A and B are shown apart, each in its own frame.
Chain A
Amino acid sequence: MALSRSMRTCLHSGRLALLAILVSGGIVLQILACALYNNWWPMLTVLMYLILPMPLIFFLGSDTSMMSNGGDGWVNFTKFLTGASIVGSIAIPSILKHAGVIGWGALTMELSSFVVFGVAILWFLQMNSEDEYSSVF
């Protein structure tokens, strides 16, 4: 099914819009987890969310792909930080729940916000690797 060029551009911007909606949905979930219960402790997870997209930010413009055989020290260190921040964004809400600072509802919302962010990042990565074959711009 060969799409015309304008159709492909429309689909691409549609996908970007959906991605933006996903990310804002994640942010809304995160803030709701705090606001609904009037307990602002879960905002600590935002620290982890700041570290999470680091490899994207670093390697979006560079030549070395993330999937290449990582010999570069900084690439490896960034991946290390990503792994640690993924665990951290699951761990902080769990520790808060274990300590009794937040309830089950806030924990569920935090974890679903993390899942939404994860899906958005994975989809963005997939979209980027697709673009290398059919460069729209």
Chain B
Amino acid sequence: MDNNNFLAAWPVVAPGIAGAVFGVGWWFWVDAVVCSAAAVPFLHYLPGFFATFAALMFNCVNREDIGDSYYSPYDDSEWRVKLWLFISYVVSFVSLAGAVGFLVQDALTDKGPSAWTGTAGVLQCVFVLVSGLIYWTCHSED
């Protein structure tokens, strides 16, 4: 019955785990910026900020709004929620792609940020988005 206990305890600890993962993501980036010998240009900060913004965006929607548990012929606002979610997905994928692009660029050139900065940027994006997902799983299990 361990699975049952885990499922029951998940909504209790999920916000904490989401916070921890979010912290891990951002602190990796802080470490890379602090320990970088070369100055990190502002452009490299953007994937992290956009990933955080996307995580915030898709946590703003209620899960029930997009389910088809209730259907009313007078309610046509479902498309707005779906558009909001779509934009947040696009922003998150673009930020992930940007971080990977910066990693490749950092690994190829010697001047400019080191490969650790690029790696930390990718880790930051991944962890921030995963943290947003974890938080989303808990806040609509009423």
| Known contacts A71-B142, A80-B19, A83-B17: A98-B11 contact under CB 8 Å | no
- Bound-state Cα–Cα, A87 to B135, Å: 16
**Would A84 and B34 count as touching, CB distance under 8 A?**
no
Q: Is B24 an interface residue (CB 8 A)?
A: yes
For B142, the chain A residues whose CB sits under 8 A away are 69, 71
Known: A88-B27, A95-B27, A98-B35. A83 touches B11 (CB 8 A): no
Q: Is B34 in contact with A76, judged by CB distance below 8 angstroms? A: no
With a CB–CB cut-off of 8 A, which chain B residues contact A84?
19-20, 22-23
User: Would you give the shortest CB distance from B15 to chain A, in whole angstroms?
Assistant: 4
Contacting B35 at CB < 8 Å: which of A75, A87, A88, A99? Answer: A99
Per the bound structure, the CA–CA distance linking A83 and B138 in Å amounts to 14
Is B101 interfacial (CB-CB < 8 Å)?
A: no
B126 beta carbon closer than 8 Å to chain A: no
* A80 to B56 alpha-carbon distance, docked (Å): 13
Q: How far is the CB of A95 from chain B (nearest CB, A)?
A: 5
Q: Does A77 contact B (CB under 8 A)?
A: yes
Inter-chain contacts of B21 with A (CB < 8 A): 83
Query: Which residues on A are within 8 Å of B, measured CB to CB?
Result: 66-71, 73, 75-88, 91-92, 94-95, 98-99
